[in-house]
Amino acid sequence: MNDVTKISIFEGQQIRRIFLEKEWWFSVIDIVAFLTDSKNPRDYWHKMKIREKDTTQVELSTICRQLKLTALDGKKRITDCANTEGVFRIIQSIPSPKAEPFKLWLAKIAKERIDEIENPELGMDRVKNIYEKKGYDKSWIDKRMRGISVRHSLTDEWAERGVKRSIDYAILTNDIMQGAFDLKVQEYKQFKGIERENLRDHMTDLELIITMLGEATTA
């Protein structure tokens, strides 16, 4: 697929983002929530767009794209997203002492992505470091990384055969999980007691191996 959805953590705050058309797009609502500590960031963003239009004649919505991101309930929902340039523009309209470190964080993410495009191994190393910091052991991490490689090979194969919509990838993945564990992805998440988290990050070594085998065989 040409888009990759991620959740980044900045000072304890989850910032949803999606890699689309060779650049990152960030959830505006998540950014507003972090910068303002508002109890209703969606309402804050709505009022902010009205205020900017009235005072500066600039419509902030024009620098955003409505993209589907995973919501708190685990479902994909349309939300305003902005690329790095758009986020900087939005930050300028929010008086917050958190703005400057957030700008530096954005610049760091952009540079990391450029470096990883030039050298994909850097991306793999970064993921390994994240898992190590989360406390996973080396054996599990090796299997998880191998599973990511197998998954990419499978989705590349599906893409070459005409699969385009996210829902189609989800259906095909459910078929594999159903065959391997007799559970669909969402059912498996309920079994594990998780919602938004990545199911594979909660798998045992054996579960990772079985998943890998199922996807490699499918490919």
Query: What residue ranges do the domains of the chain occupy?
Result: 3-118, 121-218
> Cα-atom radius of gyration of the chain, to the nearest Å?
19
- pLDDT confidence of residue 3: 46
**Paired residues of 207 in beta bridges:** none
pLDDT at 172: 93
pLDDT of residue 1: 37
Q: What is the full per-residue pLDDT of the chain (219 aa) written as tens digits?
A: 344 455 565 656 788 888 887 778 999 999 999 888 888 999 999 998 888 877 766 678 788 999 988 877 777 889 999 988 888 888 888 888 877 777 777 767 666 665 555 555 556 777 787 788 888 999 999 999 899 889 989 999 999 999 888 889 889 999 999 999 999 999 999 999 987 678 999 999 999 999 999 999 999
Instruction: Write out the CATH class of domain 3-118.
Output: alpha beta
- Given a contact cutoff of 8 angstroms between Cβ atoms, the answer to whether 80 and 61 are in contact is yes
Global pTM reads: 0.50
Round to whole Å and give the CA distance between 10 and 66: 23
Give the pLDDT confidence score for residue 2 in this predicted structure. Answer: 40
Burial grade of 65 (CB within 10 A; 0-12, 13-18, 19 or more): middle
